[in-house]
């Protein structure tokens, strides 16, 4: 019996540690607070580096039954961003990419350059891959007004294999 207990304890100690996911509402915060609209959608009040207020909506579009996020969109309720607003959107895109989709920091410069090019050229819709993460950019308008969406997703299982960093809802 003692040998069996020793074997069980050793196997538990030798098992690879599972990284804990980061709650998305902890990752995306703002000086203006958060307002949860649904279980998968909340709005954060933020300020740009030049103190311009900017609302950022966060929508969890796909998650596992355990709440691990595999697809997420950031929305800015504007379709013509000032440089400081674009920087804030890029910063939050970086935060989600590294913390939720395990993207290496070496790829973040590519995301920023891509977003700046799309904004400068007034592109309405585009898609790109940055390593294992796919990003979709959309500039559109609804009856409530204009918006820009940056959707990020990745295939695989959040928290398993090479996808160690993940977020939870």
Between the alpha carbon of residue 73 and those of residues 3, 11, 56, 88, the distances in Å are: 51, 40, 10, 15
Least confident of 2-16, 52-66, 123-137: 2-16
DSSP class of residue 104 equals -
Considering the chain, what percentage of its residues have pLDDT values greater than 90? 76
Q: What is the pLDDT of residues 132-167, one digit of tens each?
A: 999 999 999 999 999 999 999 998 888 888 899 999
Rounded Cα gap, residues 165 and 34, in angstroms: 23
Beta partners for residue 56, in sequence order: 44, 76
Mean pLDDT calculated for residue range 99-106: 95
Q: What is the pLDDT of residues 18-49, one digit of tens each?
A: 557 999 999 998 777 889 899 999 999 999 99
Note whether 90 and 111 are within 8 A (CB).
yes
Tell me which of 19 and 11 has the higher pLDDT: 19
């Amino acid at each position: 019996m003692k040998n069996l207990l020793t074997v069980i304890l050793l196997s538990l100690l030798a098992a690879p540690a599972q990284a804990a996911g980061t709650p998305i509402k902890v990752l995306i915060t703002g000086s203006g607070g958060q307002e949860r609209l649904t279980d998968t959608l909340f709005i954060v009040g933020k300020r740009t580096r030049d103190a311009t207020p900017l609302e950022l909506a966060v929508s969890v579009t796909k998650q596992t039954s355990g709440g691990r996020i595999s697809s997420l969109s950031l929305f800015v309720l504007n379709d013509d961003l000032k440089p400081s607003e674009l920087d804030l959107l890029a910063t939050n895109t970086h935060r989600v990419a590294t913390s939720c989709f395990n993207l290496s920091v070496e790829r973040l410069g590519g995301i920023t350059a891509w977003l700046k090019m799309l904004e400068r050229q007034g592109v309405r819709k585009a898609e790109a891959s940055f390593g294992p993460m796919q990003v979709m950019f959309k500039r559109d308008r609804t009856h409530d007004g204009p918006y820009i969406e940056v959707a990020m997703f990745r295939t695989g299982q959040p928290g398993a294999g090479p996808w160690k960093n993940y977020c939870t809802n």
